[in-house]
Amino acid sequence: MFETMKAAYAKSDKGDAAGYTNWRRYSTQAYVSATHGGRYVQNWGNTAAKAYGNYERAGTFPQGAKLAKDSFAVNAKGDVSVGPLFLMEKMQAGFNPDSDDWRYTLVMPNGSVFGTTNGAGSDNVAFCIGCHQSVTPDQDNVLLLPEEYRVR
């Protein structure tokens, strides 16, 4: 399934959609994320996002920090399908005060971009901002994976 997901997202014009698998994976295995449509997800972060591995003690992320969640679903018959790729990138100060300067991008399994903060389809990813702002300010809008799936 991993290779299928990589191939699906690589159809996107977003470079990170093809390259996120070169980042560090912070989840030990795929797990169900209720906040991402009940899909199985894995967490990835680029070098600038290395503080993610400190989890609750990560603090504020620097400009250029990028996080990704790839996803897949399993139906009642056991059929597996590729889900969206969820990307977030910390932008320069003032980029979008409502998102605390995070840019959210949602890449569909066919490579199309459903939306990007301050870009095409921005309204389609506005829900990301609301959900991510529900965490404590100490977490800089970053939702953390369950402890039992964290890479230590």
pLDDT digits (tens, 9 = 90+) for 53-108: 999 999 999 999 999 999 999 999 999 999 999 999 999 999 999 999 999 999 99
Cα-based distances in Å from 11 to 6, 33, 87, 106: 9, 24, 15, 13
Q: Is the pLDDT of residue 137 over 80?
A: no
Q: Where are the alpha helices (DSSP H) in 10-142?
A: 15-19, 126-132
Please state the pTM of the whole predicted model.
0.94
pLDDT of residue 24: 97
How does residue 122 score in pLDDT terms, banded at 50, 70 and 90?
Answer: very high
Residue in 8, 7, 25, 39 with CA at minimum distance from that of residue 152: 25
How does residue 14 score in pLDDT terms, banded at 50, 70 and 90?
Answer: confident
d(CA 131, CA 142): 10
pLDDT of residue 11: 93
